[in-house]
Amino acid sequence: MHIHQYEKLWLGLSLLLIVGFVATVTYGAVGTPAISMIGDDGDTLNPNAIDDHPEFGDPGVEKVGESEYAAYVVARQFMFQPDPIVVPANTTVTFYVTSADVIHGFSVVGTNANTMVIPGEVAELTVEINDPGEYGIVCHEYCGNGHHGMEGLLKVVPADEYDGGDAE
C-alpha cells in the first residue's frame, strides 16, 4: 500500500496527539489531587422505598470524621432535599445523591462537582471545600416539565458558625 510521506508524518502526529490526550487524562486521574470518576461504589436501592431509608429517609448533612462530612441528598421532581445544604468550611464533604423518581442531574454551579442522578443508584462524590461562600446547585438533566425550576443551594459557612445539624 502506497502512502505519501506527508500522510505518514500526519499519521505519526495524530497518534502522538491521541497518546498525549490519554496521558493528560491519566495524569489528572493519578496526579495530586487525583481526580476520581463517579463510579459504582454507591449502593442500589428502590426509589419507592427512599422514605424508609436510614439516610435518605431524612436527607441532610452528618459529621463522619475529624473534618469530614457526609451530605445525603435526594433529587425529586422538581427540588433537591435538603435545601440549602449547609456544610462548614475547610472540610472534606462526600455527597451521596439519589433520585426518588426520574433521572436528574446534580451540579454545583461554577465548579467541577457534577454528577448524574439515576433512580436506583447512589452517586458518590467527595470534594474538599475550603472557603466559605454560596454556590447554586442545578439539575442539569431534563426531568419533566418543571425541570427549569429545579435548583438548590450549597452554603459553606465558617466552622464556628456551623450549627452541626440538618438545615431543613
Partner 1 sequence: MNEGMVSADDGATHGDLERSVSAPPDQADVDRTLSHEEFDPKGTLALILVYFAILVGMWVFMYFVEFLGNGLTVVG
Partner 2 sequence: MSTGSGAATFVDRYPEEASIVRQAFFVAFVAFGLGALFGVIQALHRTDILRFIPSTDYYTVLTAHGVLLVIVFTIFFLVGLFQWAITRSFDRPVEDIRITKAWLALMSVGSVVTGVTILLGFVDEVGISADVLFTFYAPLQAHPLFYAGLAVFLVGTWIAGADWFRSWLAWNAEHPDDRIPLQAFVVLTTMLMWYIATIGVAVAVLFFLLPWSLGLIETVNPLLTRTLFWFFGHPVVYFWLMPAYLLWYTVLPKIAGGRLFSDPLARVVFVLFLLLSTPVGIHHQYLDPGIAESFKFIAMTNTMFLLLPSLLTAFTVVASVEHGARQRGGTGLFGWLRALPWRDPAFTGMMLAGLMFAAGGFSGMINAGMNINYLVHNTLWVPGHFHLTVGTAVALTMMAGTYWLWPQLTNRRLYSRPIGLLQVVVWFGGMALMSNAMHVSGLYGIPRRTAEPQYQGFDFSTAFGSVAELNVQLAIGGTLLFVSALLFLANLAFSWGNPTTSGLGQTLPPALSGPDDSPRVLDNMRLWAAIALVLVALAYALPLGAIVADSGLFGPGGDAYPVTVVLNSVAVTAERLTASVGATLADVGGVLEVIR
Binding positions for Cu ion, 34-73, rule CB under 5 A: none
| Residue 124: closest CA among 75, 55, 71 | 71
Q: Write out the binding residues for Cu ion, residues 85-114 only, by CB under 5 A.
A: 104
CB of 42 to partner 1, least distance (A): 12
Return the number of the residue (28 or 164) whose C-beta is nearest partner 2.
28
CA dihedral 81, 87, 93, 94 (to 10 degrees): -10
Shortest gap between Cβ of 92 and partner 1 (angstroms)?
Answer: 8
The residues that touch partner 1, with contacts defined as CB under 8 A, are 4, 6, 9-10, 13, 17, 20-21, 24, 28, 33-38, 94, 108, 110-114, 124-129
Whichever of 40 and 163 has its CB closer to partner 2, that residue is: 40
The string of DSSP codes covering 25-94 is: HHHHHHSSSPP----S-S-B--GGGGGGSTTTTS--EEEEETTEEEEEEEEETTEEESSSEEEESSEEEE
- Closest approach of Cβ 121 to partner 1, in Å? 16
Contact footprint for Cu ion (CB under 5 A): 104, 139, 143, 147, 150
